[in-house]
Structure 1
Amino acid sequence: MTALLLAVRWAGPLSVLLTALVYDAAGAAVMMLVCLGVTVAWRARPPAALELGTDLVLLLAAWSSVLLLYERLTWWDLVVHFAATAVLAELGFRALERWGGLSAARAVSHVLVVCALGAALALLWEYAEFVGNATVDPRVQVGYRDTLGDLAAGTAGALTAGAVGAAARNRAGPARGGSGDRGVRADGRGQR
């Protein structure tokens, strides 16, 4: 799994170079956002499966933009909003927990916090789409129907991620502190 994670981590910077050389500066800028997300995922040290899933979903979302899949497949935008918000909300929860913003949460609290984080991320993303449409590229989809669909898909993704994350932590059991994290004690601090 470590070699796969390293390969996917390096796919971000390589995607920046590829889009800058083959496509355009806007595509390279989107890929730089992916690099930021990949770096945050790496530094948050979530379970390996969550880090890998986050990195792959972010790459998929960015390449979908560069390859104009959102314009070609009308339903694809909702799928990506669901998946991206899911992994980012769960990652946000794990990062807050690791960096001391949360104590070990019960399953219901886990689901509610992840869902709230996801709804907030979905809202921020819609603001970014609006600004992107107005200042960068008018092809960025905005409008009442698109915005509400994206918010609904993102919130549903976060709710799903919260439920899956809580279930995964419960399966990990108290022997690992219920965290399932690599090298993290039950109190959320890294082992030395």
Structure 2
Amino acid sequence: GETLLVHAAAGGVGSAAVQLGKAAGATVIGVVGGEEKVKVARDLGCDVVIDRRAQDVIAAVKEATGGRGADVIYDPVGGEAYTQSTKVVAFEGRIVVVGFASGTIPSPALNHALVKNYAILGLHWGLYNTKDPKLVAHCHEQLTELAARGAIKPLISERVPLGGAAAAVQRVADGVTTGRVAVVPGHEGAGA
């Protein structure tokens, strides 16, 4: 099977990517920042978890893949994560760019993509609402079916009332949350 590398594997979009990768039969390598997030990524089903704060990401991915690299890399981070991706993407691999949580938008060296035969794919999900709404409905059906049989279970780490939304968004931006933080109008309790 294919190897999927997920940056920010304990985050909102990363945790979903990990679960979908496992559901599709991939070997999943998760990259996270910090010991707390290592545990979250393991619990999500990552086969290998790399703590970017304590380990050399490039060396760890190469070791985990026997030097081959990852077939698909899911990158919601950009910046340094993207640079690492280019160094560990397999021959004919794909780097899927889904966001720039690091705040740094990389400038890809296209000569490098040419020399290593990899593809850089942009994925802006919102565009499908206007470009191909039927695909959105189809994906929703597929996801609902996966959830119904327990193959995926969205990680909701916290539920906050509407009044706590601004503070919750700030915690997400600061990178201290795991999974999804759900804002629930009329909900006064805290925690999961």
Q: Shorter-normalised TM-score: what interval?
A: under 0.3
TM-score (norm 2): 0.26
Identify, as 1 or 2, the structure richer in strand.
Answer: 2
Identify, as 1 or 2, the structure richer in helix.
Answer: 1
TM-score (norm 1): 0.26
